[in-house]
Amino acid sequence: MTKITTILFDLDGTLINTNDLIIQSFLHTLGKFYPDQYKEEDVLPFMGPTLMETFESIDKEKSEDMIREYRTFNIAHHDELVKEFDGVYETIAALKENGFKLGIVTTKMLNVVKMGLEVTRLTPFFEVIVALDHVTKAKPDPEPIRKALEQLQSTPEEAIMVGDNYHDILGGKNAGTKTAGVAWSAKGRAYLEEYHPDYILDHMSDLLEIVGARQR
């Protein structure tokens, strides 16, 4: 088996805990356009797809207005609602010390990605970020993952895609990488298992053993 040299991560729900921020942003936006129609459990399926996909599925004519409303609320409340996941910082630091190439592949816009990395102190570890504004097609299309690998001068055979959503698992499979789902996904471990990732991480530090990295 080819040795893994490159690890690509989704951002939201994988590296940083934006679950509350995303849920509150959806509830605020939908509450403004459709008062009293949406509860928390109704918006969980919207976590993962692009905002355009989600809001167009609700009302194509209002989708751009809803996206604007969502982003305004999301940025205004970002730093107060974003939290760190246990063990992520330490694991990413160890991977970097071990010489792994690290990249982020996300369906977020770059400006908000940078905010999330800054507030969780992860900015120095990532050589490449492929955000929504860098691609024509988002995950699960392989385009963003292939773009990240190209920038890192890596091949799919030596890479693993880590994420909390089916877009990450299918995106990795479509690009030819190994895949790992994170059990702390807001949608739960059983949801991810349906997409047959190569690995499920109960804790981010599980990744160190999978890729053969030394513990800090």
Q: Write down the domain spans for the chain.
A: 6-17+83-211, 19-81
- pTM for the model stands at 0.91
The answer to whether residue 168 is catalytic is no
Strand order in the sheet with 178-182: 128-130, 101-105, 6-9, 159-163, 178-182, 199-201
Structure tokens at 127: 């050589």
Assign 186 a pLDDT band (cuts: 50, 70, 90).
Answer: confident
H or E segment and range at residue 182? strand 178-182
pLDDT, one tens digit per residue, over 70-115 is 999 999 999 999 999 999 999 999 999 999 999 999 999 999 999 9
3-state secondary structure of 32: helix
Which amino acid appears at position 17 of this protein?
N
Half-sphere exposure of 43 (CA within 13 A, CB side): 21
**The three-state (H, E, C) secondary structure of 145-177, written as one string:** HHHHHHHCCCCHHHEEEEECCHHHHHHHHHHCC
* Separation between Cα atoms, residue 30 and residue 33, nearest integer Å: 5
Q: Do domains 6-17+83-211 and 19-81 have the same CATH topology?
A: no
Q: Under a CB-based contact definition with an 8 Å cutoff, are residues 160 and 180 in contact?
A: yes
CB-CB contact of 186 with 205 (8 Å):
no
- Label the pairing between strands 83-84 and 16-17: antiparallel
Pull the structure tokens for residue 207: 């990744």
Distance CA 161, CA 165 (A): 11
Superfamily of domain 6-17+83-211: HAD superfamily/HAD-like (3.40.50.1000)
pLDDT per position as a tens digit, 130-165? 999 999 999 999 999 999 999 999 999 999 999 999
- Of the chain, the end-to-end C-alpha distance in Å amounts to 25
Share of the chain above pLDDT 90, in %: 93
Instruction: Decide if 108 contacts 131 (C-beta within 8 A).
Output: yes
CATH number of 19-81: 1.10.150
